[in-house]
Amino acid sequence: MTANITVLAGDYIGPEIMAAGLKVLAAVSEDQNFDYELHEMPFGGAGIDQTGEPLPAETLKTAQQSDAVLLAAIGGPKWDGASKTPEQGLLAIRKALNLFANIRPTEISTAMQQYSPLKNTEPVDFVIVRELTSGIYFGTPRETTADYALDTMRYTNEEIERITRVAFDMAMKRRKHVTLVDKANVLDTSKLWRKIVAEIATDYPEVTYDTSYVDAASMKIIASPSQFDVILTENLFGDILSDEAAQTTGSLGTIPSMSRGVNGPSLYEPIHGSAPDIAGKGIADPISMIRSVAMMLTHSFNRDDMAKEISDAINQTVTAGVVTPDLGGHATTDEMTETIINYIKESRHSYEPDHV
Ligand code: NAD
Ligand code: IPM
Ligand code: MN
């Protein structure tokens, strides 16, 4: 069976890191009985430029018919303030594919420890489970008048329930601890999250569960991140905390994500944006995109073996110090990508049986 993968390279560094991710996908797929077909489609700013729409109908249709979607990054100054923006396309595809659960891992592995700005020496390995298709990003009414602007934070019981189950199911496969991050000392929506999460927690007696206000949680991510296993939170808080958490590994440019719905394709993308400040220089960190490819192999194609090869090769590369400037190195995107590919090839070579 051929895996159909929709490829949305997007804007600024988007195409640079997507190229890196696809090179690694090609390398790791060699001789692995993994056949795939790529469907490259316009999206974001590139969609606006080519078709007038950030999410062209053909792009959505292709994504809906595929087994997985790879997205690099969209947006940037070229389209800021326009009537149609790349970001509208991103929110639209998340909604159209019903990608309500966004999984954003933070791991300071042994290999990454030398790049972390934290002094903490305990292992850090947690995931943020971010609600992605509701909350203040999508709530109505939403309007701007001459005198005010209005956004609405709204959550239904059902929206909270389904993301909570994702978080607790995930905790069951990890260290069995969930932290709900909210602002329940102020917001009604947060009070509803607390009530529903407490109810659902009773279905998971093995999972311990606590809560933290978002302001304190942002401090704990720096001060004592090893206390976290699964952080469950709403859309906007998850957006903010995941960039903060990412930087504790050394760079925002290393963190991938998976967004999933009920049925249908999941979407894999770096958590960062299109980094217009470094675009065109060939120095974007490709790790976030390459790890997004690895997450896709694990979760959409059940190829944890191939994902592990990628992850091992990344660890070897960062241990060897072949890293881009965001991690303090001098490597280009291409040099880093080639090094990762060489480690993949090398490890296969060393396992080859002797020929007689
Ligand atoms: P950003 O994440 O693009 O960049 C923030 C900082 O991190 C920049 O200094 C950038 O150079 C650095 N950075 C990010 N990724 C990097 C990488 N792979 N390698 C090295 N350095 C990296 O955030 P921003 O500058 O606030 O936003 C730029 C644009 O991206 C905006 O239009 C925003 O809306 C958009 N955006 C898109 C997505 C997405 O596509 N999912 C996510 C976030 C922001
Ligand atoms: C992200 C981004 C998006 C978000 C923006 C670009 C709409 O910051 O994927 O984290 O806020 O979700
Ligand atoms: Mn973000």
DSSP 156: -
Q: For helices 287-299 and 304-319, what crossing angle results, to 10°?
A: 160
CATH assignment of 1-99+258-356, among 3.40.718.10, 3.30.710.10, 3.40.47.10, 3.40.50.300: 3.40.718.10
Cα of 212 from ligand 1 centre, angstroms: 27
Query: How far does the centroid of ligand 1 lie from the alpha carbon of residue 142, in Å?
Result: 26
- Among the bound ligands, name the one nearest to the CA of residue 273: 1
Q: Is 239 annotated as a binding residue?
A: yes
Query: Does ligand 2 come within 6 angstroms of the Cβ of 90?
Result: yes
Q: How confident is the model at residue 8 (pLDDT cuts 50, 70, 90)?
A: very high
pLDDT range class, residue 356, cuts 50, 70, 90: low
What is the average pLDDT score of the chain?
A: 97
Output the DSSP codes for 200-247.
HHTT-TTSEEEEEEHHHHHHHHHH-GGG-SEEEE-HHHHHHHHHHHHH
In percent, how much of the chain has pLDDT > 90?
96
Asked whether the predicted pLDDT for residue 355 surpasses 80, the reply is no
Residue 121 has pLDDT above 80, yes or no: no
The verdict on whether residue 348 carries a ligand-binding annotation is: no
Residue 75 beta carbon below 6 angstroms from any ligand 2 atom: yes
pLDDT digits 0-9 by tens, 38-52: 999 999 999 999 999
Pick the CATH number of 117-248 from 3.40.50.2300, 3.40.718.10, 3.40.50.150, 3.40.50.1010: 3.40.718.10
Nearest CA to ligand 2 atom 12: 239
151 in Cβ contact with 142 (< 8 Å): yes
Measured CA angle at 38 (ends 89, 291), to 5 deg: 75
Q: For a pocket test of ligand 2, which of 90, 103, 242, 258 has the largest count of ligand atoms closer than 8 A to its C-beta?
A: 90
Domains 1-99+258-356 and 117-248 share a fold: yes
Tokens of 189: 């929506």
- Decide if 41 contacts 66 (C-beta within 8 A): no
* pLDDT category of residue 119 using cuts at 50, 70 and 90: confident
| Low-confidence winner among 138-142, 273-277, 352-356 (lowest mean pLDDT) | 352-356
**How far is it, in rounded angstroms, from Cα 240 to Cα 252?**
12
d(CA 189, CA 243): 23
Say whether the peptide bond before residue 77 is cis (omega within 30 degrees of 0): no
Q: How far apart are CA 32 and CA 10, in angstroms?
A: 29
How far apart CA 71 and CA 20 sit, in angstroms, is 12
What distance in angstroms lies between residue 131's CA and the mean position of ligand 1's atoms?
A: 20
Strands 124-131 and 68-73: unpaired
Q: What are phi and psi of 350, to 5 degrees?
A: -70, -20
Domain ranges across the chain: 1-99+258-356, 117-248
Residues with Cβ within 6 A of ligand 1? 17, 73-76, 87, 90, 252-253, 269, 272-278, 284-285, 288, 326
Least confident of 114-123, 144-153, 200-209, 243-252: 114-123
pLDDT at 352 over 90: no
11 carries an active-site annotation: no
| Ligand 2 centre distance from Cα of residue 355 (Å) | 52
Dist. CA 347–CA 354, nearest whole Å: 14
Query: Does any ligand 2 atom lie closer than 6 A to the CB of residue 71?
Result: no
Quick one: average pLDDT of 257-267? 97
Number of H helices, E strands in the chain: 11, 12
For ligand 2, mutation pick of 130, 236, 239 (most atoms within 8 Å of CB)? 239
Query: What band does 29 get if pLDDT is binned at 50, 70 and 90?
Result: very high
Q: How many CA atoms lie within 13 A of 197 on its CB side?
A: 28
Q: What is the pLDDT of residues 284-325, one digit of tens each?
A: 999 999 999 999 999 999 999 999 999 999 999 999 999 999
One-character DSSP codes across 309-340: HHHHHHHHHHHTT---GGGT----HHHHHHHH
How many CB atoms within 10 Å of residue 61?
12
By the 8 A CB rule, do 76 and 85 touch? no
Q: Give the C-alpha separation, 124 to 110, whole Å.
A: 10
Q: What share of the chain is helix, strand, coil (3-state, %, to 5)?
A: 45, 20, 35
- Kindly state the tokens that stand for 293: 């490819």
pLDDT band of 156, cuts 50, 70, 90: very high
Q: For residue 40, report the distance from its CA to the centre of ligand 1, in Å.
A: 21
| Contact in structure between 98 and 262 (CB atoms under 8 Å) | yes
Other CB atoms within 10 Å distance of the CB of residue 315: 16
Query: Does 183 participate in catalysis according to the annotation?
Result: yes
What is the per-residue pLDDT across 331-346, written as a single tens digit (0 to 9) for each? 999 999 999 999 999 9
Task: Flag whether pLDDT at 275 surpasses 80.
Answer: yes
Q: Kindly report, residue by residue over 174-184, the tens digit of the pLDDT.
A: 999 999 999 99
Closest Cα partner for 55 from 78, 89, 85, 80? 89
Query: In terms of Cα–Cα distance, which of 106, 97, 124 is closest to 291?
Result: 106
CB 225, CB 124: distance < 8 Å: yes
Residue with tokens 């997507």: 18
Identify the pLDDT of residue 349.
83
Q: What is the pLDDT of residue 122?
A: 85
pLDDT interval class at 68 (50, 70, 90): very high
Collapsing DSSP to helix, strand or coil, 155 comes out as coil
pLDDT given at position 351: 62
Q: Respond yes or no: is residue 215 known to be catalytic.
A: yes
Beta-bridge partners for 126: 106
Strand partners, 124: 108
Q: What is the mean pLDDT of residues 91-113?
A: 97
285 marked as binding residue: no
